[in-house]
């Protein structure tokens, strides 16, 4: 989102996601991680303008714990970056 709260980029645009169920048990201290790089281009492939951008990541997966399932909110992270 730009400073006007408009979406300028969405990683999942034009991607296809097959529905597949994978069950995996994590060991203590084991971590799931994901890495992605944004090239600072908008939805039309143009470089974004200088300014501040809010980056939000939502993992749309289900994680069961001993105390129940984690919610989408639990699996969401956000930060702000500044393009100079």
For residue 15, tell me if it sits in a domain: no
For residue 3, tell me if it sits in a domain: no
For residue 71, tell me if it sits in a domain: yes
* pLDDT confidence of residue 7: 94
For residue 70, tell me if it sits in a domain: yes
DSSP sequence for 51-83: EEEEEEEE-----EETTEEPPTGGGEEEEEEEE
Of residues 42, 47, 77, 44, the one with CA closest to residue 59: 77
For residue 59, tell me if it sits in a domain: yes
Global pTM reads: 0.71
Across the chain, mean pLDDT equals 87
For residue 2, tell me if it sits in a domain: no
**Cβ atoms < 10 Å from Cβ of 45:** 7
Which two structure tokens, joined as six digits, stand for 70?
């984690």
* pLDDT confidence of residue 72: 78
Tell me which residue range forms the domain holding 79: 51-83
* pLDDT tens readout for residues 23-53: 778 888 888 788 888 899 999 999 999 999 9
How many domains does one find in the chain?
1
For residue 41, tell me if it sits in a domain: no
Which has more confidence, 69 or 12?
12
Mean pLDDT, rounded, for 53-68: 84
């Amino acid at each position: 989102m730009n400073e006007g709260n408009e979406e300028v980029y969405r990683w999942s645009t034009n991607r296809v996601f097959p529905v597949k169920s994978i069950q995996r048990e994590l060991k203590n201290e084991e971590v799931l991680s994901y890495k992605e790089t944004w090239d600072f281009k908008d939805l039309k492939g143009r470089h974004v303008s200088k300014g501040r951008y809010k980056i939000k990541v939502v993992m749309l997966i289900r994680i069961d714990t001993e105390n129940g399932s984690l919610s989408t909110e639990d699996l969401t992270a956000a930060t702000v970056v500044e393009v100079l």
